[in-house]
A and B are shown apart, each in its own frame.
Chain A
Amino acid sequence: MRTALAIARKELSVAFTTPWAYAVFTAMAALTAFYFTDLLRAFNDVQGVARRVGWAQMSPDFNMYRNLTDGVVVELWGSVLVITLVVTPFLSMRLFAEEKRNRTFELLMTAPVRPIEIVLGKYLGGLGVISATLALTLVFPLLLSVLGHSESGPALEWSTVLLGYGALLLWGATCMAVGLFISALTESQMLAAFLTFCVLLAWMLLGQVARRAEEPLRSALSYVACDLQLQGMIKGVLDAQSLVFFASVIGFSLFLTHRAVDAQRWA
């Protein structure tokens, strides 16, 4: 286990000395800021109308705009979910592919380290980078809680905000596990990033397919669709079933990665 931590530490130190991580941080911050300002403007508009005509006169569709938590932060988390899907492949691609291209994979595989420790170390390193990326988005609810105000108590309902953030972390961890596996299959970082992106996007689109499908396919698809699984947590409802679902996907991806690393010797 100590060697796994050594590998994770090395991953982090390499990630933070190359420009890649910083480019991804910038993209994450810029895109989230873009959505954030957009959501704030929409929120303001609806509040303005409500002040004039009163909430009772408005369609129930606008109810979520009654407070900052549901009107801005929950919506923002929904966008960050998609941004995470786009940026994680660029963080996960180098995990194994680069080692193979540079022949440092040989160093790892001839060191007195078990393949499972290599996989765990790599994954922990990846988790560190994705957590750092997602931590940047916490700035936006913090801004709201400092600058925003509400007629009834604090501006934000932090339990909802943080549970939604937990859903983001869970999703980031899942994307990273899938990316880790795909990175273990190829020497080409570009191919690893592209394939990871395709797989994650297809997975997210399953929700759309589910909405149009007939029963019983519909229930089956909505169960495996990642965005539908995450919806509850994003809105602040803790759902044990989703936790188990994503934990299984992560576990299975790591298992496959382990097999792929082991099988490398037989290629």
Chain B
Amino acid sequence: MPMIEVQHLTKRYRERVAVDDLTFQVEAGEILGFLGPNGAGKSTTMKILTGFLPPSEGVVRVGGYDVEAQPLEVKRRIGYLPELPPLYVEMTVRGYLRFVASLKGLSGSALKAELERVATLMGVTHVMDRVIQNLSKGYKQRVGIAQALLGSPPVLILDEPTEGLDPAQRAELRALIKGLAGQHTVILSTHILPEVTMTCQKVLIIHQGKMAAYDDISQLARLHGQAENASLEEVFIKLTAA
């Protein structure tokens, strides 16, 4: 059974169609790179997968649960990093992470251990008692990712997680995400294409809400009529040229 199953997903805002008949699935343990030009419908799709927005049509299942029928079951299984990290800037990192962990149902010593684990993983242990407002953009982003990792949910949906990080932190995060493959199913949206080539096995490219390509990275170039060694960038530009 695929971990994430999307069938004929359509999202309309009045007349504007943001997502148009999208069908794909992600197997457990896979990392899917989710690409598209700005405004293609990536964030909207991710918001529907996490249950924040209802679909206009179509079905979304996560871990076998329908997002509309059993939203709590789905939300329990997803760690989500929205485009803008959802931070309470007046709180300390520790206070914030403790709050998110308690929203996810953790408490007592389990909560403490989980905080410790995630903070170490994201390298924020030395800023735990600082107020989020005063952190650099990169650290804010790390705290945002830490929040998604809390409770070790089987599915991670990360909307441009490397935004605001410097090259060294990017490389670190890429390694981290790669390390998550196997135990976690990850959907990763980004517009930095080399990042996808380095971390993902499969790529989904959408353009104006419609699916433009959906394949293994190695197959992509060949299938879309380009030289075997064409870069993802060339394929992307070809597919999304209006």
Binding site for B on A (CB under 8 A): 2-3, 6-7, 9-10, 13-14, 17-18, 102-114, 265-266
A-facing residues in B69-92 (Cβ within 8 Å)? 72, 75-76, 78, 80, 82, 84, 86-91
Which residue on A lies nearest to B51, using beta carbons?
A110
How far is B88's CA from A104's CA once the two chains are assembled, in angstroms?
Answer: 7
Cross-chain contact A110 with B80 (CB below 8 angstroms): yes
Interface SS of B by simple majority: loop
Cross-chain contact A102 with B86 (CB below 8 angstroms): yes
Q: Contacts A10-B88, A265-B52, A265-B54; is A107 near B78 (CB within 8 Å)?
A: no
Cross-chain contact A13 with B78 (CB below 8 angstroms): no
Interface SS of A by simple majority: helix
Give 18 A-B contacts (CB < 8 Å), ordered by A residue. A2-B105, A2-B107, A10-B91, A14-B88, A102-B89, A103-B82, A104-B86, A104-B88, A106-B47, A106-B80, A107-B100, A109-B52, A110-B50, A110-B80, A111-B100, A112-B104, A113-B75, A113-B103
Cross-chain contact A106 with B82 (CB below 8 angstroms): yes
Binding site for A on B (CB under 8 A): 47, 50-54, 72, 75-76, 78, 80, 82, 84, 86-91, 95, 99-100, 102-105, 107, 147
Cross-chain contact A266 with B54 (CB below 8 angstroms): yes
How far is B82's CA from A17's CA once the two chains are assembled, in angstroms?
Answer: 26
Cross-chain contact B86 with A6 (CB below 8 angstroms): no
How far is B99's CA from A9's CA once the two chains are assembled, in angstroms?
Answer: 9
Q: Contacts A265-B52, A266-B54; is A110 near B88 (CB within 8 Å)?
A: no
Nearest Cβ on chain B to A259's Cβ, whole angstroms: 15
Cross-chain contact A106 with B102 (CB below 8 angstroms): no
Cross-chain contact B86 with A265 (CB below 8 angstroms): no
How far is B91's CA from A9's CA once the two chains are assembled, in angstroms?
Answer: 12
Cross-chain contact A265 with B53 (CB below 8 angstroms): yes
How far is B147's CA from A104's CA once the two chains are assembled, in angstroms?
Answer: 12
Q: Given A103-B84, A109-B52, A112-B103, 15 more contacts at CB 8 Å? A: A2-B102, A6-B103, A10-B88, A14-B90, A17-B90, A102-B87, A103-B86, A104-B87, A106-B82, A110-B52, A112-B75, A112-B104, A112-B105, A265-B52, A266-B54
Cross-chain contact A111 with B91 (CB below 8 angstroms): no
Nearest Cβ on chain A to B205's Cβ, whole angstroms: 25
Nearest Cβ on chain B to A40's Cβ, whole angstroms: 39
Give the chain A neighbours of B82 by CB distance below 8 A. 103, 106-107
Nearest Cβ on chain A to B40's Cβ, whole angstroms: 20
Give the chain B neighbours of A14 by CB distance below 8 A. 88, 90-91
How far is B90's CA from A13's CA once the two chains are assembled, in angstroms?
Answer: 9
Give the chain A neighbours of B107 by CB distance below 8 A. 2
Cross-chain contact A106 with B86 (CB below 8 angstroms): yes
Q: Contacts A106-B82, A112-B76, A114-B72; is A3 near B89 (CB within 8 Å)?
A: no
Which residue on B lies nearest to A107, using beta carbons?
B86
